[in-house]
């Protein structure tokens, strides 16, 4: 990348970024081996298809893989992320579990509980951290605005939609249609309250998002990353 472009981007990121409404992050911990999960997957798909004010992400865990059907989208990172939430909430790891903004956990097929948690998250997000990202070739240009607190910056890669014909296990014979399937999640930086800019590689997955997450698990900032034209 030309030095002039890098310098301009760094200057832009150093400027105060106005806070704006951000999507509420809805994480579903699920598995194709779990017969209770398809209704939760359907709820997440509906959110993905109809709500721009929500960032739905399906994390397929690994602990169902030895029980009849190996989920092709299962990630150890998803299992570890759910375990971290389990430690905070004290409720153990189970599927389907939905977590809204890192603050509220409930059974993933409970749409009424989900809508309530989303409304509460929107009402309580008084000072969001502005985050932005754009793809330029094989590089992501990311900016995080100034704010209070601190958090880890996570880069998430996900696929928009897949249909899987399940051959064994509890969902044997079903064709499962799933949305926003996470293919990768990794920490790429630490935010300490000051505006900052960073570059990153493009993650695995068709699309990308970025999260800023506080030490207590709550989401401070989130955005879908604009891929534009490749």
At 159-187, the pLDDT tens digits run: 999 999 999 999 999 999 999 999 999 99
Average pLDDT, the chain: 91
For residue 82, the tally of other CB atoms under 10 A from its CB is 24
pTM: 0.90
Name the residue among 85, 112, 83 with its Cα closest to residue 99: 85
What domains are defined for the chain? Answer: 3-224 (3.40.30.10)
- What is the reported pLDDT for 127? 73
Residue 153: pLDDT above 80?
yes
- Over the stretch 182-194, which tens digit does the pLDDT of each residue have? 999 999 999 999 9
- Over the stretch 96-134, which tens digit does the pLDDT of each residue have? 999 999 999 999 999 999 999 999 999 987 678 999 999
- What is the reported pLDDT for 77? 98
- The least confident of 36-40, 45-49, 145-149 is 145-149
CA pair distance 60, 75, nearest whole angstrom? 6
- What is the reported pLDDT for 125? 74
141 confidence band (pLDDT: 50, 70, 90): very high
Task: Dihedral sign for Cα 76, 77, 80, 85, please.
Answer: negative
Residue 93: pLDDT above 80?
yes
CA pair distance 2, 224, nearest whole angstrom? 25
């Amino acid at each position: 990348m030309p030095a002039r472009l890098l310098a301009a981007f760094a200057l832009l990121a150093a400027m105060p970024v106005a806070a704006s409404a951000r999507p509420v992050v809805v994480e579903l911990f699920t598995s194709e081996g779990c017969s209770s999960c398809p209704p939760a997957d359907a709820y997440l798909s509906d959110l993905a298809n109809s709500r721009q004010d929500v960032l739905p992400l399906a994390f397929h865990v690994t602990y169902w893989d030895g029980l009849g059907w190996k989920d092709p989208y299962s990630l150890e990172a998803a299992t570890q992320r759910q375990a971290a939430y389990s430690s905070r909430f004290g409720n153990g790891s189970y599927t389907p579990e939905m977590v809204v903004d890192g603050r509220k956990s409930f059974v993933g097929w409970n749409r009424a509980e989900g809508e309530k948690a989303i409304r509460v998250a929107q009402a309580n997000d008084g000072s969001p951290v502005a985050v932005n990202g754009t793809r330029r070739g094989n590089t992501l240009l990311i900016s995080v605005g100034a704010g209070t607190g601190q958090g880890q910056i996570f880069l998430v890669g996900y696929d928009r939609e897949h249909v899987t014909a399940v051959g064994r296990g509890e969902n044997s014979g079903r064709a499962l249609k799933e949305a926003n399937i996470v293919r990768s999640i990794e920490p790429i930086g630490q935010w300490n309250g000051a505006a900052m800019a960073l570059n990153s590689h493009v993650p695995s997955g068709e699309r990308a998002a970025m999260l800023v997450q506080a030490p207590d698990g709550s989401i401070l900032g989130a955005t879908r990353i604009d891929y534009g034209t490749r």
